[in-house]
Structure 1
Amino acid sequence: MKAIAVAVTAGLMLGGCASQSQQTTANPADPWEPFNRRVFAFNDALDRYALKPVAQGYDTITPDPVQTGVGNFFTNLGEIRTITNSVLQWKWTNAGVASKRFLINSTLGLGGLLDPATELGWTAREEDFGQTLATWGVGEGPFVVLPVFGGRTLRHAGGMPADWYTDPMTYVEDDAVRYGARGLELVNYRASVLDEEALIRGDRYSFLRDTYLQQRRYEVNDGELGADPFASDDFEFDDSDFAE
């Protein structure tokens, strides 16, 4: 469920934190930029006039320990998605660690409100079906901004339905409880990133898009960066331009 809240919040922030100035240099990963910026403007209004004010009020009246507990609870539910996708990617160690985290946090952690697993040093990489598709050889595809859900790669967007099926809240039959829980997670997460808006510089749309793409590729590659040409034996330095 955390992935859904992050997707929605990141998408709304992609609008809510952004100016509408056009990027001067086209990004090859964003061939649909004119369309994306129009959806971006819709998300802008939704965040500015609805989600952000609610998150600010929530942040003001809700103690930090309560916010942390709410975040822990939904992160714990997200371990189910990580376990499932780790297995689909044959990442057995990560699946095992995520399983231990879910077990210990669901019991000793009072249903996930506390996070004793992290205190024990048990940390797992979050995995979703978009990452699974990457492991199976599906290409990244263009960047696209979805209404409400915001910026995604096409591959990441394609994995979202499968992620919903691994979200325990999907199976809560009471609509009021299900939608209330989703709303709480979204507002809690939005409140947690209020201060991060000050880090955005320049053309906000481009900044957030490029940051998302960099972070997404980092996640897909399990934290491994691309090869550094300056660290390769194939890179040759020609100092003739410096000769007197």
Structure 2
Amino acid sequence: MSLTSKLTKICAAASLAVLVTGCTHSPNDPLEGYNRQAFYFNEAMDTVVVKPIAHGYHDLVPDVIQTMVSNFFGNIADVWIAFNNFLQGRGDEGFSDVSRIMINTFAGVGGLIDVASDAGLPKHNEDFGQTLGVWGAPPGPYFVIPILGPSTIRDTIAAPADYWFGDPITYIGNSREGLMWGLVALRGISKRAELIDAASVIDDAAIDKYEFIRDAYLQRRQRLVHDKDLSDDQWETVDEKNKRIEGQTWLPSSEVRPQPSPVEKTAVTTTEAEAAPAEASAQTTAETPETVVAPTAAADAVPATDDSVADSAPEKDKPAQASGPASAETAALIN
């Protein structure tokens, strides 16, 4: 079967699936009819062209060479990442990116070795779409770009800056267009090879792959834009509000509620013991005196250890424990 015939059949099957199952529109996806068609087209192109090449690259090229190729393109990308960090007013991250470029370019043999990460300079992930989001531009509806994949209207508007103005490879020059497009293709194959395992998991787990990728993309983009504007304290405030709604007491993980002293615990237990006969007298006359006195006797025998005292106290008198994850984990759960 020829490549054209195979691609045509895949596209036809995808179109038929859309017509049969219909589309349930999401508030963030008013263009779902078009987006599904673009998604299935991209899936067909990936299945027929990109994935086989990526599998061959992944299986035949030694891992160390693949890592060097990934590091090389990552070092180039740090130029645009640094620029966007400066545009977002994040000078510390921007200077960190510039330091990464200098260290990896000279000490990392042109970026083939990621020396900067081992030196404590983490790699960031910034693009012009995120910059527009930090500036206040709303994401707009979900939008699938043919060939390029998931996006939003805001990210689509930013795409020319990301793919042309902000890509150092495009500055190679017209006289070396062959080299430029070769590097672009190699970078795409390298990225696709890195996603082989993740794509397999999605294929196995997702009932509707389109919805799975759409929702994951939108959540990830929201996190990339908005987690820069919320400090740990603000994340804790959101979590505290949720805990208060649930009727629970919450404290940051760094705080420890003071524990009552053994004397205070003994007083609490004694008070409960004195109240026990009055409560027991309200029971039916069939109860024996031993049954009435038993709680008092048990309560009068105050244990020597704090742990056993805390266990014997009623649930309402136990010291409130800190609930809720640490602030960083809370931010991850919210997003």
Give the shorter-chain TM-score range: 0.7 to 0.9
TM-score by length of 2: 0.62
CA, structure 1 residues 103+32, in 2 after alignment: closer, same or farther (shift >3 Å)?
same
Cα deviation digits, residues 62-117 of structure 1 (max 9, x gap): 00010010000000001111111111111000101000000000000000000000
Residue in structure 2 matched with residue 144 of structure 1 by the alignment: 143
Residue in structure 2 matched with residue 210 of structure 1 by the alignment: 215
Residue in structure 2 matched with residue 3 of structure 1 by the alignment: none
What are the residue-to-residue correspondences of 1:1-244 with 2, within 5 Å? 20=17, 22=21, 25-163=24-162, 164-173=164-173, 174-200=176-202, 201-222=206-227, 231-232=240-241, 235-237=244-246
Letter in 2 for 1:236: I
Deviation at 1:177, TM superposition (A): 0.4
Letter in 2 for 1:59: H
Matches of 2:36 and 2:178, distance apart in 1 = 33
TM-score by length of 1: 0.84
Letter in 2 for 1:177: L
Letter in 2 for 1:190: R
Alpha carbons 2:75, 2:104 under 8 Å: kept: yes
Matches of 2:105 and 2:52, distance apart in 1 = 32
Q: CA RMSD in A?
A: 2.5
Deviation at 1:25, TM superposition (A): 4.9
Matches of 2:66 and 2:227, distance apart in 1 = 28
**Larger Cα-atom Rg:** 2
Unaligned runs of 5+ in 2: 1-10, 249-335
Compare relative contact order (CA 8 Å, sep 6+) and give the higher one, 1 or 2: 1
Alpha carbons 1:130, 1:156 under 8 Å: kept: yes
Letter in 2 for 1:168: P
**Identity of matched residues, %:** 37
Letter in 2 for 1:187: I
Matches of 2:110 and 2:220, distance apart in 1 = 30
Moved beyond 4 Å, runs of 4+: 18-25, 223-230
Alpha carbons 1:78, 1:167 under 8 Å: kept: yes
Matches of 2:104 and 2:166, distance apart in 1 = 18
Letter in 1 for 2:166: T
Corresponding pairs, count: 223
Letter in 1 for 2:92: T
Unaligned runs of 5+ in 1: 1-14, 240-244
Deviation at 1:23, TM superposition (A): 7.6
Matches of 1:83 and 1:77, distance apart in 2 = 11
Alpha carbons 1:81, 1:167 under 8 Å: kept: yes
Matches of 2:246 and 2:137, distance apart in 1 = 37
Matches of 1:230 and 1:145, distance apart in 2 = 34
